[in-house]
Amino acid sequence: MLMTEPTVDLKDHPILITLQDVISGNGFLVRITVSGRTLMRQEEDGKWWMYGVRPAAIAEAGGTVDEAFLRFRQAHTQVLLDIVQESKDFDEFRTEVERFFNESDVDEQAWEEALKAVRDQRIAPPEAFAKLPRQSPDSRPARIEVERLDGKVKPFTASDNVSITYSIADKQAA
């Protein structure tokens, strides 16, 4: 008889996100690109919650995983719009956006523990994640890029765009 490793139910699911926004400010146009981290959890009320890790100060819920991500994405854009309203210039905006993204949170440790569980054990992901892509966080470190676009000498190209995505953090790349 062939023995298989037991599966473990994971409460917190480590998720990688990619977001991009173009926002106009007081005398500037800026593109913000985020490669971030969130935890996805189905709470007792049956809703899926996406808790920000990088950036940390956002949590949104939905009836499905996709709805929770969409609401999280909308909340992230709203935070950027709030920051730009309060910023007198590009430098102040960039400083505040980078501060917001890099704020530490207790969920960062929970994200690392969830990733370790994925890497160390055979995890049975919920059916809601069946169609999500898997990606190693080693291939996409958490980062933010705040790029001023007005007055840019280099021409814009289609390759400047990124797809807005989320995926399940998976094992290290082989």
Is 1 within the bounds of a domain?
A: no
Is 82 within the bounds of a domain?
A: yes
Lowest-confidence pick of 33-37, 41-45, 74-78, 168-172: 168-172
Residue with the bigger pLDDT between 78 and 123: it is 78
Q: Does residue 1 surpass a pLDDT of 70? A: no
- Give the count of domains, the chain: 1
pLDDT band at 7 (very low <50, low <70, confident <90, very high): very low
In the numeric block, the tokens 């809703």 are attached to 47
**Which bin fits 106, alpha (ψ -120 to 50), beta or left (φ > 0)?**
alpha
Residue-wise pLDDT tens digits, 23-61? 999 999 999 999 999 999 999 999 999 999 999 989 999
Is 36 within the bounds of a domain?
A: yes
- pTM, two decimal places: 0.85
Domain that holds residue 143: 12-152+162-169
Is 102 within the bounds of a domain?
A: yes
Is 157 within the bounds of a domain?
A: no
Q: How far is CA 15 from the centre of its chain?
A: 7
Q: Does residue 168 surpass a pLDDT of 70? A: yes
Look up residue 155 and give its two tokens.
């021409």
* CB burial of residue 163 (10 Å; 0-12, 13-18, 19+): exposed
* CB burial of residue 125 (10 Å; 0-12, 13-18, 19+): middle
